[in-house]
Amino acid sequence: MLNAVIVVDDEAPIREAVQQWLTLSGFEVRLFSRAEECLAHLPDHFPGVILSDVRMPGMDGLQLLAALQLRDRDLPVILLTGHGDVPMAVDAMRDGAYDFLEKPFSPETLLGSLRRALEKRALVLENRALHERADNRSRLDATLLGMSPTMQTLRRQVLDLSQLPVNVLIRGETGSGKEMVARCLHDFGPRADKPFVAVNCAAIPEQLFEAELFGHESGAFTGAQGKRIGKLEYAHGGTVFLDEIESMPLAQQVKLLRVIQERRIERLGSNQSIDIDLRIIAATKPDLLDEARAGRFREDLAYRLNIAELRLPPLRERREDIPMLFSHFSRNAAERLGRSAPVLSGEQLSHLLSHDWPGNVRELANAAERQVLGLDGPAAEGSAVGQSLVAQQEAFEAHCIRSALRRHRGDIKAAMHELQLPRRTLNEKMQRHGLVREDFLVEGNTQS
């Protein structure tokens, strides 16, 4: 339960007495002698109650209430009033104050009012968190696409890990979306308004790696003109994404391990340590412990990075998502290129489902763009792999329903007539395949 209280009163004896009562009762108390100081130090989404005197020099309690209402209308404010201020306090309650206490007041009266206010604050914050999580879930569903069980599990994991201050290791093949997942971990977490810095470890020459990561002072090495902020320092407060971490030189792995342990860096050519606060997300294709056993990666760094691991499934392991993804990429490409999104034939869909997709989602997106441009089909023939009849039927059914809805701009009756399905059956199939009528209202495609 919440127990934080901020006390604002210009009289030191009253502040100290209230602090003593509340501390003995288990509250966490912070004191301010002026309202301006309270506003300057009040954190966003403060999980507690403000207890303020009305008559104070400078900004008084009523002005403080008005300022707090602009920042958070649901923040409970309890006013302390003298006898002559009661009518004023009643008006203040109409303006949003939670309660007022007339001086002198008993400790029991104060504690009762505070506990009720804290209970209300807890409910408000819990409700906000639930709404925010629901919003994040909807946004994440629209970012990490796919209705396969593996993608549903991945989205839940991303949503949970985004809120935790732990390092994450993402494993996946080329083109499986590792940077997008890293970006989601950042964007849906508390560091979203801070920098997200992506570093491709395989693209940096070994001799420049340390300067790129840690920065340098002027004259630190030949050609070092002026001071340069490194990627880690630039990411302070936010997230650094180390892609292809397995390519990091062993000498730099030692220094990165020290950064993780001490949360401090030193620029090249400097003896001054700089405190940094960042979250590290790393991505790799191979298993880092296998790399460590082969002598190519430090085992202690592998364990430090792998506090939590996310495995991204290759596209061939979630074939039921292919029609949805291809349709999404086709629409995006068509909109960008000013063309119509073509509708797949049954033969083309069969190619999509049988292709091995070694380049994963990236290859699928390129295939969709090529088809929009009319350059070739959605997938090369051959490279077929076995797939159950049920999976192929499900994917084809989803594609047929999606195509009908697109052609008829979300008109359910028209789609029912074309597909010769009862309304209830169509609704059930749309729900199973994750199809929503609203997504097709402005889509429209007259091609058959």
Please determine, for residue 132, whether its predicted confidence score (pLDDT) is greater than 80. Answer: no
Distance separating alpha carbons of residues 371 and 330, to the nearest angstrom: 8
* Confidence class for position 392, pLDDT limits 50, 70, 90: low
Domains of the chain: 4-127 (3.40.50.2300), 144-313 (3.40.50.300), 316-440 (1.10.8.60)
pLDDT of residue 164: 93
Q: Give per-residue pLDDT as tens, 401-429.
A: 887 888 888 899 998 988 889 999 999 88
Is residue 444 pLDDT above 80, yes or no? no
- Tens-place pLDDT, residues 321-365: 998 899 899 999 999 999 888 877 777 887 888 888 999 999 999
Q: pLDDT class for 384, splitting at 50, 70, 90?
A: very low
pLDDT at 347: 75
Confidence (pTM): 0.67
**Lowest pLDDT segment from 57-66, 184-193, 384-393:** 384-393
In whole angstroms, give the CA distance from residue 289 to residue 86.
70
The dihedral built from the CA positions of residue 403, 404, 407 and 410, taken in this order, carries a sign that is negative
pLDDT tens readout for residues 159-172: 999 999 999 999 99
Cα 434–chain centre separation: 22
Mean pLDDT of the chain: 87
> Cβ distance 328 to 188 under 8 Å?
no
For position 393, what pLDDT does the model report? 74
User: Which range is least confidently modeled, 51-65, 279-293, 296-310, 342-356?
Assistant: 342-356
CA 313 to chain centre: 20
pLDDT confidence of 223, banded at 50, 70, 90? low
pLDDT for 388 equals 67
